[in-house]
Every structure is written in C-alpha cells, then in structure tokens.
C-alpha cells in the first residue's frame, strides 16, 4: 500500500507541471502545441542528461559511490570537443561530407579522453579508500570535482565561451503538429539512442558486462569466481566516462557554448535523473534524464530559468526523501 | 623506508596529557586575547584574523554535524546565508517601510527599517538556523549517508537560488521582498554593544575581541556536548546505527540535535560575518563555500575540536593571504598568464583529495575518527526499515 | 561469570508463568522472499527459552522484528502487555528489552565503560542545555551511570584494568562480556542473546550457561537465546522453538524437541 502511494505519488508529482500547463494551453490557445514544443525540446536536451545519468548509475550500481566528479568529466569532454574542432579542420563552412567523419573522430577522442580521465580518478581518489567509511570517497569525489572545475576555469576562463556552430543547431528541419524540430534536436536524439542501446547491450550480453553485474551484487563472491574486481570497476568507470565524453561533444554542438560550471549543474541534474529512475538501473537513468529534461524546459519557459535549478533540486529532495528507490528501482533486501 | 614513513605519520599525532593540553589551551587563549595589541588596529593581518575566527566558528558548527554525528552536510552555506540575512533583515534600512527600533543607540534611531541590537540578532540568527537545521534534517534522516549529503547540497542550492532571486519574492506584502537579489543588502548597522564604543571599520580590535568571545563560547558548548550523553550518542550513531538504536539511542532525535546545534553555530558565524563585512551578498552563498568549510574540518581532523580550529585558521589564511598576496605573482614570474586567485577552489579540492587519501584523520586527529578512518572500525549499515 | 548456578528453579512451572513477550502470526517478506511465515511464539517471565534452526531458517530476522529493527509484514508482537509491532528499537529498549548481536557490534572506538554508558542512554535524562551547563542534576546522573556501568562490567567478569580500554582492543571473550554488560546496563526485563557462544571454547560456553542461570535467578531476567551449540541449548533452555525455512516446526521441552522427527529431518535432511 505504501509502495503504491509512493510510486504513483511520484508519478503524479512529475506529471503536475506538464498537466497544469497543458490545461492552461488548452484554455489559452485551444491546442497543445506550446506544451508539445516544451516537451520535445525537453526530450532532446534530456537525452544528454540521460547519457550522463547512465554514467552515474553504472558507478553507483557497482561501488555504491556517488561519483560527484562525473559531471565535471562531462564538462572536460565538452572542452576537449570544442578545442578539437579547429584542430581537425572543422569550421562553419565544412559541409556534411567533411562534418560526419570529422565529428566521428572528435567523438572517439572525447570518449577516449573522458573514459581515461574517469579511470584515472577512480584509481587515484576512490580505490585507496575502498575499505574506508563510505563518506570518505564521496569527499574525494567532491574534491576532484573542484579540481576539474578549476582546470576548466584555467582552460577557458570564467565566462561561457562560444563554440563554432558546426551543425547550425538552431536551423529548423521540419515542423510536425506545431512542433518545430531543429538540427540540434535530431543530433541529440540520434547520437544518444544508439549509444545508450549499445551500452545496455554491452552490459547485458558481454562477458565483461556479466562480470560488472556480478561485482555489483557481491564483490567477494565475484572475486572467488575468478573475476578481477579492480579491472571490472575500472571498466565501469571507463564506460561511464566514455558516455560522458559523448555527452560533452553533443552538448558543445547543441548549446554552442561551453562553461567550466556546466559540469556541476549537469552533474546534479543527471544525478537527479539517475535517482529518479532508481539508481543502479540503466533504463531508469535514461527515463529519468528525459523526464528531467522536460521539467527543465517547462520551467525555463513558463516559470523563469532563474528558478529552474531550485525546481530541479526540489524534485531531487522530494524523490530522495519519499521514494529513494526511484520510479522503477526495486527495494533491496537487507541481509538478515 | 616504510618504517620511516610510518614513524613520520605517527610523529604527527598529537596526544598530550590532559594537564598539558589544558595548559596549552590556556596559553593559546591568552595569546589570542593579547594578539591584536601587537598589530596595527586596521592592519590587513588583523582583518584576516577576524575573518579566520569567524570561519573557526563555522568549522566548529559543521564539525558537530559531520565530525561528531557523521552526517555529511554539503549545504552548510545555507546557515551562513540565513545568519547573514538575519542581519540584513533586522539590522538595516532594507525594510524601509517598517520602523522598528529595539535597544539600539541614537545613531540609527532616525533611520527607517528594522533595527535590533546585534546581540538580539545573533540570537535570532541562531534560532532561525536551528529551525532550518531541523527542517533540512527532518526529511533526510531516514536516508543513507551519501543521500543525506546530496539532499543537504540541494537544500543549500535552493537557498542560494532564493537569495539571488528573492527580490521578486514578496512574502509579507509589497514593501517586503525576501532579499535584495544580487545587489545584496548593504550597508548594515554598525555594531553598538553595551559598555563599549560603537564599532567602526577604523579600529578592528573590538571586532576581533567580539568574534574571539564568540569562539570561546562556541568552544565551550561543543566541548561540553562532546563529553556528554548526547556526545556519546553521536559517536554511537556514527559508528553503528543498528547497535545504537538497539541500545536505546533514538536515531532521529540524536541526528536532529546535531543539525540543530550545527546550524545554530553556523548562523552565529553568518550573522557576525555579515555585520563585519557590512553586506549580505547573495553571491557568497555558493556551494563552494560549503566545501571550503568542509575542507577546513577535513584538513584539521574530522571530529577533532582543536584540529578544526587549526584547519579553519590555516585555510582562511591560505584563502585570504597566501593565494591573493603571495602566490599571485608566481605565474607571472613563470611566464604564465593566469590569475592564481582563480585557483582557490581547485586548491581546496586538491586538499580534500590529498588529505582523504594520505592522512584521512587530518592534522590533529581525533582518536576515534582516526581508528574509523584508518582501521575501518564501524559500519555503514543503516536502518532502512525503521520509521523516521 | 565464575560462580556456579544455584540451580534453584523459579517457583511456577513454565506454562503457568505469564508471557512477557508474545509474537502472534508474525510474517516477514522481503520482496518475494518469505523470511518468516506465520510464527507464533512466547517468552514467559523469568524463563530461558531458545530458538534454534538450521542456517538461513530466519532466526535473526525474527530477532530483528522482536527488537524493532524490522517491521513485521503481518502479525502482532507485544511486550509486557503492550503492542510493540513496528515500534522503534530505542523505544522497545526503553520498555525493557535488550539484545546482543551475532557478530559483536560494540562501538569499537569507545572504551568498555563508554559502551556501557551508551547502553544506559534510555535511562538518562540529560538534555542539550543541561549538558552544556552541566547542571547539578546532570553531574549527579553522570556519576550514577558511571558507577552503575562499572558494576555491570564487574558483574560480567571484566577485569577492572580493561574498563577504560577501547573496545576493539579487547579480547574476543571480553568483547562478548562487554556486549552483555552493555545490554544489562539498560535494566532489561528480557535479554535477547544472538549466538552468544559463537567462537567460544567448551569451557567458556559452560561458564556462560551458568551466567545465564544467574541472570535469571539473581536478577529475575527472562532470556531468549538463539544458539547453534546444542550442548548449551539443551543444558540451559526451559523451552525450545525450532524454525526451519522461516516456519515454526516444533516447540517444547528440550527432550521432546530433540526427539521430534521433523526437527531431526530439518537438521539432517530427509533420511532414506
């Protein structure tokens, strides 16, 4: 009964904003095009959060650590991408023929860099503390987040830097049911979906994925079964970092600006998404990312962007307090 | 080599006998009292010392929550904000439509706004922050430790958003916005305490002695609490919730008291800082401040009262002196073109990582925390089934 | 722990003593897994009763429900004629139930004495303000609980030299003693011991058996025991309840339980 109330209570709370403004639109405009536009943009932006949230959820699933630096790894990914555009010869004039291979190259480099960075962070800041109280690695994670932010600050400076609008992000592609679809939206959706599907398949099908799940369930038993726990954890960080790197590139193309502070905000939003979906649950993280994206866009558009962080955080608090297992998480059994 | 490293680490441990440490504390206190007489009354060093002591109070407050009770609070800046706003609301011309004067001297009698005596405001700040601590604590207490950290962070950020945008929030009618937005509330009333001359920015010594008095009071409170029934309950809850609850320690009440005490102390420091800096600046209430205070207590030694005092003084001097005055010329000399004051929070992040990995017990370790952090004493099992 | 038990049995036969603790139709589910199914059970006043069963039979889960760590999915638990189903563990302790843990759970960084002081938390009143100002009442209380704590440590046989030692530095046997002292310090009417002889040699186990008799006879305690060591169980229990796969399969006097074919089957597997 409690379970029922908390689950559907959460769904009702999540639906409150869209339903309220949907009714308002119907009264004001007679149709839902405005809300539809909000939701569509929310989905496309949310798919970036989903990529980051998957990284959070993977790491949490395996070592129960909130990898606070994850958002900043994503930020570094954006910076790498923005820095590489010129290097690989991509400019505003580059046509589709040059753009696709160029961006693919940048994507691979971003993913590799962020994956390696994430593995390095685990090695330096988390692994030595594996037997320490749980709060110890969380503190080093916050510390690393600050270090990376400072790297970003020194790299690009204190204010947002603009990135060449390679894909002409704001250009409309088509309009459907009153919803305008821009190039940026297509990019976000069409890069995210294959990556998330690939990551999910990797974890559910491959041998390494099985090792990851085994380690997540019981590291000691996994070790007895001949699984190298250290390697498996490194691999998890690699995978999470790679997805964050991809998200970094998409973000740079999508927003056409990068900022050292973007990772902190994105990290918290993506963490909210991961918790909303049920931390440790891949599909949940994706779902959470998409929902948070929608809430954000509705809030930006209707309430005012300056209040959006407060609204997202209010959702975070509500979910953590009233339904910490998220939308599709399961209650874990305690040893007893 | 390994043995040398070990003895080096042990050499740092500071475990004087009670008599020695009492004598040491008295000598330190005596020095702290006469210290400003050695300095010019408006010297920069005295200015930094006043701020450092205010940070000591902050650190001691956060230490109650994180060090004693083991609840990682990443939103401690909320109490700085609420304490500072108590000064902004009740000690300035901000609410010009109101005309309330309580126990204030003639120099603000003719000004519009709410003007209460600073001693009253400090009490109000402490009470408001204690309530806020309870409010933040209450929903989080059923959660596991890492979730508590994130929820406190979220609360801190929500309060910052309200501080920055509060100029458009009118709770008590039109003339009464919640905050003054990014412009901040400035100036605030000059302090005017009984039996002493009104405080000015031209003589920092009275400020120093005021904040030192506050430090002594807070030290007294936290030491007494540490050695009490409540202090033992905090340690028990931190080490093993399940065992603590089974021994009759009420978890929610015990943790809430930690938030309440920690919040109230943070509010006192926040009120003092606002009065001293003569402004309530909404942009100060950022997440990085919470981490700044956290870095103080981690560096000094989680749970260790003297460690926190040391950590707060060291870090505030690094922040206010070393980085702006000394290090800033370094990149130029090396031919680099960045401003080292930008490095502030990176340095604190670096400190957090280094200290946690290499010496998690901090500079002046507390005996228990050292065992927990280095020997793995204690358990992270939490009571998910027990109702809040 | 050295004096032998007096052996003087309580006046009333077991069945006539009023029940101190009563569990009725208690079931605990974790997701799809049923850890305890419809268990009914009682502990009479001033008695020593045991719960036994193979590993994974749900004994500790049942203990955790009695002490309030878990909330039963269905069923009712009452203690001293009050409903305690789902009551918080600290409240239950305050009502007079105390426990030890299978894997000793002392506060490792506290001294033996401090551990026992925490055990008296529910019997103390000192609050925030009183503790800061150290009022005469608080001072008196602190002195009283320290004295009582030392008595308890001496009662369980801890050498005085060990009182101020940190719990993690104590020997295994002494840790067991301190854990019992900590539980006793809360002045319980019912003491729950979760495998107290785990890791003890036969002689230590025998001493503990005597000690349990003393607790009942000298202090009027009821004791509920989870135990694997059959010698201890058979020697000390007035009544034994057997759990298997979360269900109660037998209950009665030691001799009857030992001869019950269902119990033999549960322990040895079906023969033939």
ipTM value for the complex:
0.89
Beta carbons of C35 and A331 less than 8 Å apart: no
Closest-CA residue of chain A to B287:
A264
Query: Measured between CB atoms, does A220 come within 8 Å of chain C?
Result: no
CATH number for the domain spanning C239: value is 3.40.50.300
Closest-CA residue of chain C to B368:
C109
Angle subtended by helix axes A308-322 and A2-28, to nearest 10: 150
Instruction: Quote the pLDDT of residue B383.
Output: 57
pLDDT at C45 over 80: yes
Instruction: At A31, give phi and psi (nearest 5°).
Output: -145, 175
pLDDT at A252 over 60: yes
Tell me the per-residue pLDDT of A146-174, one tens digit each, with 9 for 90 and over.
999 999 988 888 788 888 888 777 777 77
Per-residue pLDDT band at B387 (split at 50, 70, 90): very low
Question: Residues B271, B87: contact at Cβ < 8 Å?
Answer: yes
- Tally of CB atoms within 10 A around B136: 26
Query: Measured between CB atoms, does B377 come within 8 Å of chain C?
Result: yes
Which among C88, C123, C133 has CB closest to B387?
C88
pLDDT at C7 over 80: no
Which among B72, B161, B347 has CB closest to A310?
B161
Query: Measured between CB atoms, does A67 come within 8 Å of chain B?
Result: no
**Long-range pairs of C124-133 with CB within 8 A, sequence gap ≥ 24:** C124/B229, C126/B228, C126/B229, C126/B230, C127/B230, C128/B225, C128/B230, C128/B257, C128/B261, C131/B224, C131/B225, C131/B228, C131/B229, C131/B230, C131/B231, C132/B220, C132/B221, C132/B224, C132/B225, C133/B224
Question: Residues C61, C36: contact at Cβ < 8 Å?
Answer: yes
pLDDT at B126 over 60: yes
Domain co-membership, C2 together with C90: yes
Which among C71, C90, C110 has CB closest to B248?
C90
Helices within chain B (DSSP H only): 2-12, 18-34, 44-63, 77-90, 118-140, 145-165, 205-226, 229-239, 241-246, 251-277, 287-300, 305-317, 329-333, 344-358, 367-375
With CA atoms as reference, report the closest residue to A127 among A259, A4, A237. Answer: A237
Per-residue pLDDT band at B381 (split at 50, 70, 90): low
pLDDT at B263 over 90: yes
Domain boundaries, chain B: 45-344
What is the average per-residue pLDDT within A229-257? 92
Residues 163-222 of B with CB under 8 A from C: 220-221
Domain co-membership, C7 together with C74: yes
Beta carbons of C168 and B377 less than 8 Å apart: yes
Beta carbons of A334 and B349 less than 8 Å apart: no
The minimum CA-CA distance between C110 and chain B, rounded to whole Å, is 7
Query: Measured between CB atoms, does C60 come within 8 Å of chain A?
Result: yes
What is the average per-residue pLDDT within A206-223? 83
What is the average per-residue pLDDT within C219-248? 91
Instruction: Quote the pLDDT of residue B333.
Output: 57
Which percentage of chain C shows pLDDT scores above 70?
94
With CA atoms as reference, report the closest residue to C188 among C83, C93, C68, C50. Answer: C93
Beta carbons of A336 and C60 less than 8 Å apart: yes
Which among C31, C33, C61 has CB closest to A330?
C31
Instruction: Quote the pLDDT of residue C230.
Output: 87
Which among B150, B164, B353 has CB closest to A66?
B150
With CA atoms as reference, report the closest residue to A212 among A280, A260, A150, A162. Answer: A280
d(CA A157, CA A160): 8
Domain co-membership, C92 together with C223: yes
d(CA A67, CA A73): 10
d(CA A100, CA A167): 10
Instruction: Quote the pLDDT of residue B6.
Output: 41
- Tally of CB atoms within 10 A around B102: 11
Which among A136, A146, A313 has CB closest to B348?
A146
Closest-CA residue of chain C to B377:
C108
With CA atoms as reference, report the closest residue to B285 among B266, B299, B303, B301. Answer: B266
With CA atoms as reference, report the closest residue to B56 among B367, B322, B314, B364. Answer: B314
Question: Residues A134, B241: contact at Cβ < 8 Å?
Answer: no
Mean model confidence pLDDT for chain B? 85
Which among C31, C61, C64 has CB closest to A331?
C31
- Per the structure, how many domains does chain C have? 2
What is the average per-residue pLDDT within B291-297? 92
B334 is written with which tokens?
């090396």
Domain boundaries, chain A: 47-277
Beta carbons of B151 and A66 less than 8 Å apart: no
pLDDT at B327 over 70: no
Range of the structural domain that residue C135 is part of: 111-187
DSSP per-residue letters across C177-199: HHHHHHHHTT--SEEEEESTTTT
Position with higher pLDDT, A122 vs A98: A122
Instruction: Quote the pLDDT of residue B340.
Output: 54
Chain A contact set for C35 (CB, 8 A): 336
Position with higher pLDDT, A74 vs A90: A74
Chain C contact set for A333 (CB, 8 A): 30-31, 33
Class level of CATH domain B45-344: mainly alpha
Give the domain-ending residue among C152, C187, C222. C187
Question: Which of A5-14, B340-349, C85-94 has the lowest average pLDDT?
Answer: B340-349
DSSP per-residue letters across A245-307: HHHHHHHHHHHSEE-TTHHHHHHHHHHHHHHHH-TT-HHHHHHHHHHHHHHHHHIIIII-GGG
Best C61, C63, C89, C103 residue to mutate vs chain B (most B CBs within 10 Å): C89
Domain co-membership, C60 together with C132: no
Query: Measured between CB atoms, does C109 come within 8 Å of chain A?
Result: no
Instruction: Quote the pLDDT of residue B384.
Output: 52
Beta carbons of C132 and B372 less than 8 Å apart: no
Beta carbons of C33 and A333 less than 8 Å apart: yes
- Tally of CB atoms within 10 A around A207: 8
What is the average per-residue pLDDT within C16-39? 90
With CA atoms as reference, report the closest residue to A156 among A56, A81, A58, A48. Answer: A81
Question: Which of A49-63, B170-184, B316-330, B344-358 has the lowest average pLDDT?
Answer: B316-330
Angle subtended by helix axes A308-322 and A282-298, to nearest 10: 140
Question: Residues A332, A324: contact at Cβ < 8 Å?
Answer: no
With CA atoms as reference, report the closest residue to B273 among B25, B91, B22. Answer: B91
Give the domain-ending residue among C170, C187, C204. C187
Domain co-membership, C147 together with C253: no
Domain co-membership, C35 together with C155: no
pLDDT at C8 over 70: no
Best B76, B138, B151 residue to mutate vs chain A (most A CBs within 10 Å): B151
DSSP A149: H
Beta carbons of B233 and C114 less than 8 Å apart: no
d(CA B360, CA B388): 31
The minimum CA-CA distance between B16 and chain C, rounded to whole Å, is 17
Domain co-membership, C195 together with C159: no
Instruction: Quote the pLDDT of residue B328.
Output: 62
Tell me the per-residue pLDDT of A126-150, one tens digit each, with 9 for 90 and over.
999 888 888 889 999 999 999 999 9
Which among B224, B257, B368 has CB closest to C134?
B224
Instruction: Quote the pLDDT of residue A332.
Output: 42
Instruction: Quote the pLDDT of residue B30.
Output: 94
Chain B contact set for A136 (CB, 8 A): 356, 360, 373
- Tally of CB atoms within 10 A around B326: 11
Mean model confidence pLDDT for chain A? 86
DSSP A330: -
The CA angle C258-C263-C264, to the nearest 5 degrees, is 80
Task: Give the SS3 label for residue A158.
Answer: coil
Instruction: Quote the pLDDT of residue C1.
Output: 43
The minimum CA-CA distance between C69 and chain A, rounded to whole Å, is 10
Beta carbons of B357 and A125 less than 8 Å apart: yes
Chain C contact set for A334 (CB, 8 A): 30
Which among C93, C109, C124 has CB closest to B239?
C109
B25 is written with which tokens?
């504390």
Q: At C239, which helix (H) or strand (E)?
A: strand C239-244
Beta carbons of B356 and A131 less than 8 Å apart: no
Query: Which residues make beta-bridge pairs with A36?
Result: none
Position with higher pLDDT, C1 vs C168: C168
Task: Give the SS3 label for residue B244.
Answer: helix
What is the average per-residue pLDDT within B52-70? 95
What is the average per-residue pLDDT within B241-261? 93
Domain co-membership, C177 together with C67: no
d(CA A72, CA A114): 10
Mean model confidence pLDDT for chain C? 89
Q: How far is CA C157 from CA A295, C104, C161, C172, in A?
A: 64, 17, 11, 14
Give the domain-ending residue among C161, C187, C213. C187
Range ranked top by mean pLDDT from B50-54, B89-93, B240-244, B343-347? B50-54
Instruction: Quote the pLDDT of residue A243.
Output: 94
Chain A contact set for B288 (CB, 8 A): 146
Q: At C79, which helix (H) or strand (E)?
A: strand C74-79
- CA pseudo-torsion sign B27, B32, B34, B39: positive
Domain co-membership, C90 together with C211: yes
Domain co-membership, C79 together with C194: yes
Beta carbons of B383 and C69 less than 8 Å apart: yes
Chain C contact set for B388 (CB, 8 A): none
Query: Measured between CB atoms, does B246 come within 8 Å of chain C?
Result: yes
Tell me the per-residue pLDDT of B184-202, one tens digit each, with 9 for 90 and over.
888 888 887 877 877 888 8
Burial label, B349 (beta-carbon count in 10 A; 0-12, 13-18, 19+): buried
Which among A330, A331, A336 has CB closest to C70?
A336
Beta carbons of A333 and C70 less than 8 Å apart: no
Chain B contact set for A138 (CB, 8 A): 72, 145-146, 149
Per-residue pLDDT band at B326 (split at 50, 70, 90): low
What is the average per-residue pLDDT within B123-150? 88
d(CA B76, CA A135): 16
Question: Which of B81-90, B169-178, B305-314 has the lowest average pLDDT?
Answer: B169-178
Beta carbons of A336 and C35 less than 8 Å apart: yes
DSSP A226: T
Query: Measured between CB atoms, does B250 come within 8 Å of chain C?
Result: yes
Rg (CA), chain C: 19
Question: Which of A285-289, B250-254, C5-9, C11-15 has the lowest average pLDDT?
Answer: C5-9
C128 is written with which tokens?
């925030």
Domain co-membership, C200 together with C177: no
Beta carbons of C108 and B239 less than 8 Å apart: yes
Instruction: Quote the pLDDT of residue A29.
Output: 81
Query: Measured between CB atoms, does C62 come within 8 Å of chain A?
Result: no
Query: Measured between CB atoms, does A331 come within 8 Å of chain C?
Result: yes
């Amino acid at each position: 009964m409690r379970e029922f109330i908390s689950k559907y209570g959460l769904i009702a709370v999540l639906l409150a904003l869209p339903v309220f403004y949907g009714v308002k639109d119907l009264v004001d405009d007679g149709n839902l095009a405005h809300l539809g536009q909000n939701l569509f943009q929310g989905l496309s932006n949310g798919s970036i959060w989903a990529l980051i949230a998957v990284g959070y959820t993977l790491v949490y699933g395996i070592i129960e650590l909130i990898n606070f630096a994850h958002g900043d790894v994503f930020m570094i990914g954006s910076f790498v991408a923005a820095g590489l555009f010129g290097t690989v010869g991509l400019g505003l004039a580059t046509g589709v023929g040059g753009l696709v291979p160029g961006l693919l190259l940048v994507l691979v480099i971003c993913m590799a860099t962020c994956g390696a960075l994430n593995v390095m962070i685990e090695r330096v800041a988390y692994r030595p503390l594996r037997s320490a109280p749980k709060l110890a690695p969380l503190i080093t994670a916050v510390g690393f987040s600050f270090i990376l932010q400072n790297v970003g600050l020194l790299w690009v400076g204190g204010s947002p830097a603009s990135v060449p609008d390679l894909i002409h992000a704001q250009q409309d592609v088509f309009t459907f049911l009153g919803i305008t679809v821009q190039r940026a939206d297509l990019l976000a959706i069409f890069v995210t979906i294959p990556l998330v599907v690939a990551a999910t398949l990797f974890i559910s099908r491959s041998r390494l994925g099985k090792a990851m799940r085994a380690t997540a369930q019981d590291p000691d038993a996994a070790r007895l079964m001949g699984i190298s726990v250290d390697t498996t954890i490194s691999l998890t960080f690699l995978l999470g970092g790679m997805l964050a790197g991809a998200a970094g590139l998409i973000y740079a193309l999508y927003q056409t600006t990068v900022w050292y502070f973007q990772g902190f905000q994105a990290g918290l939003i993506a963490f909210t998404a991961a918790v909303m979906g049920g931390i440790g649950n891949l599909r949940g993280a994706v779902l959470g990312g998409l929902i948070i994206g929608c809430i954000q866009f509705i809030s930006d558009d209707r309430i005012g962007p300056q209040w959006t962080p407060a609204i997202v955080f209010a959702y975070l608090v509500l979910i953590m307090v009233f339904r910490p297992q998220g939308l599709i998480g399961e209650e874990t059994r305690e040893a007893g | 080599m390994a043995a040398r490293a070990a003895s080096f680490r042990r050499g740092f441990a500071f475990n004087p006998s009670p008599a020695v440490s009492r004598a040491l504390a008295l000598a330190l206190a005596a020095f702290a009292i006469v210290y400003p007489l050695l300095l010019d009354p408006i010297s920069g060093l005295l200015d930094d010392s006043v701020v450092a002591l205010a940070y000591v109070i902050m650190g001691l407050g956060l230490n109650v929550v994180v060090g004693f009770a083991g609840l990682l609070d990443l939103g401690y800046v909320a109490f700085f904000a609420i304490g500072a706003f108590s000064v902004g609301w009740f000690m300035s011309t901000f609410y010009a439509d109101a005309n309330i004067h309580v126990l204030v001297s003639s120099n603000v009698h003719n000004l519009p706004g709410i003007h209460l005596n600073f001693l009253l405001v400090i009490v109000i700040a402490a009470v408001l922050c204690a309530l806020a601590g309870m409010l933040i604590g209450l929903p989080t207490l059923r959660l596991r430790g890492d979730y508590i950290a994130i929820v406190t962070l979220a609360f801190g950020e929500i309060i910052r958003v309200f501080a920055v945008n509060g100029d458009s929030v009118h709770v008590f009618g039109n003339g009464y916005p919640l905050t003054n937005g990014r412009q901040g509330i400035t100036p605030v009333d000059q302090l005017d305490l009984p039996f002493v001359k009104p405080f000015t920015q031209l003589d920092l010594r009275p400020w120093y002695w005021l904040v030192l008095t506050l430090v002594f009071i807070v030290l007294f409170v936290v030491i007494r609490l540490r050695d009490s029934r409540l202090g033992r309950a905090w340690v028990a809850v931190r080490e093993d919730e399940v065992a603590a609850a089974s021994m009759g320690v009420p978890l929610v009440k015990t943790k809430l008291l930690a938030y309440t005490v920690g919040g109230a102390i943070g509010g006192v420091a926040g009120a003092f800082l606002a009065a001293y800096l003569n402004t309530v600046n909404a942009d100060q209430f950022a997440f990085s401040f919470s981490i700044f205070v956290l870095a103080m207590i981690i560096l000094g030694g989680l749970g260790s009262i003297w460690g926190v005092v040391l950590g707060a003084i060291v870090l505030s001097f690094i922040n206010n002196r070393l980085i702006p005055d000394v290090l800033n010329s370094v990149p130029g000399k090396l031919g680099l073109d960045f401003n080292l004051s930008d490095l502030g929070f990176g340095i604190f992040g670096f400190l957090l990582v280094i200290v946690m990995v290499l010496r998690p017990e901090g500079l002046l370790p507390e005996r228990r925390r050292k065992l927990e952090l280095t020997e793995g004493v204690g358990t992270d099992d939490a009571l998910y089934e027990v109702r809040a | 722990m050295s004096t032998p038990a007096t052996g003087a049995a309580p006046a009333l036969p077991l069945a006539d003593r009023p029940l101190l603790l009563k569990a009725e139709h208690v079931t605990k589910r974790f997701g799809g897994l049923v850890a305890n199914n419809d268990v009914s059970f009682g502990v009479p006043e001033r008695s020593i009763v045991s719960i036994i069963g193979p590993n994974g039979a749900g004994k500790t889960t049942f203990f955790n429900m009695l002490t309030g760590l878990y909330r039963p999915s269905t069923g009712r638990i009452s203690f001293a004629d009050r409903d305690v189903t789902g009551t918080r563990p600290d409240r239950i302790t305050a009502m007079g139930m105390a426990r030890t843990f299978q894997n000793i759970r002392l506060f490792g960084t506290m001294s033996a004495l401090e551990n026992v002081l925490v055990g008296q938390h529910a019997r103390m009143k000192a609050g925030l303000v009183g503790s800061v100002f150290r009022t005469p009442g608080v001072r008196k209380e602190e002195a009283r609980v320290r004295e009582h704590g030392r008595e308890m440590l001496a009662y369980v046989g801890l050498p005085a030299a060990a009182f101020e030692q940190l719990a993690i530095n104590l020997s295994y046997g002494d840790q067991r003693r301190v854990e019992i002292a900590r539980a006793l310090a809360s002045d319980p009417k019912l003491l729950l011991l979760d495998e107290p002889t785990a890791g003890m040699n036969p002689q230590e186990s025998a001493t503990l058996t005597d000690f349990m008799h003393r607790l009942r006879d000298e202090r009027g305690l009821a004791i509920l025991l989870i135990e694997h060591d059959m010698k201890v169980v058979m020697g000390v229990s007035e009544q034994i309840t057997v759990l298997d796969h979360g269900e109660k399969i037998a209950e009665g006097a030691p001799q009857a339980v030992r001869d019950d074919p269902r119990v033999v089957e549960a322990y040895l597997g079906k023969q033939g």
